[in-house]
Amino acid sequence: MPTALITGASRGVGAAIARQLAPTHDLLLGGRPSAELDALATELDGASTWPVELTDPDEVEAATEAISELDVLVHSAGVGGIAPVEDLSTEEWQRILAVNLIAAAEVTRLLLPALRTASGHVVFINSGAGRNARPGWGAYAASKFGLRAFADSLRGEEPDLRVTSVYPGRIDTDMQRELVAIEGDEYDPSKFLTPETVARAVVSAVTTPADAHPTEIVLRPTGRA
């Protein structure tokens, strides 16, 4: 079977993607070492954990060395944060950019030989914030706009790879609950996309026949089940 590496696989969208790709792919489940990651690997019999701190360049380089061929790379790891520009410290900028942009770029760079061997597919879980920057979302939106630019450049530079950016609206995840709490609103999961819906879009992109290149997928919640 083809091999897929999913970062941020321990929960949320990453875990949903892993569950939906499991029947058709050998899985490498990326994430910080955790009981959640181990439990998912046990649930998805045959999946392997890829326990890596994505912001540690040496650790990432060591972890990618053994991967010689890779059919699918899904970047689902990410962090959030809401604050007006005047309150954004250097440390907060560095935290968000390190995970959402720099780590994705570095993992992709190191895995390019493996992806080229398989004529592989790279999927970036971006955000609506990667297309429209709202007040208070400056650092997060900047990281996602940067991720969009990186994906577009990669697509142009690597014609034998398929590169897809997925732009979901707000998703019912633990991170979303934290953001809504910061905003001071009441949490209503019916207003958001489910992780499973986003995962289905990723699977659709990955399984698109080879004569087509699904470059962008935009999802917006409808409020209907």
Which residue among the candidates 140, 145, 150, 192 is catalytic per the annotation? 140
CB atoms within 10 A of CB 116: 14
Position 134, amino acid: R
CA quadruple 156, 161, 162, 168: dihedral, nearest 10: -80
Find, among 180, 202, 193, 199, the residue nearest to 222 by Cα: 193
Residue with tokens 């207003």: 191
> Would you put residue 18 in left (φ > 0), alpha (ψ -120 to 50) or beta?
alpha
For residue 62, give the 3-state DSSP assignment: helix
In the residue annotation, 187 being an active-site residue is answered as no
Position 5, amino acid: L
In angstroms, the CA 8 to CA 12 distance is 8
Residue 178 burial by Cβ neighbours in a 10 Å radius (0-12, 13-18, 19+) = middle
- The residues assigned a catalytic role are 140
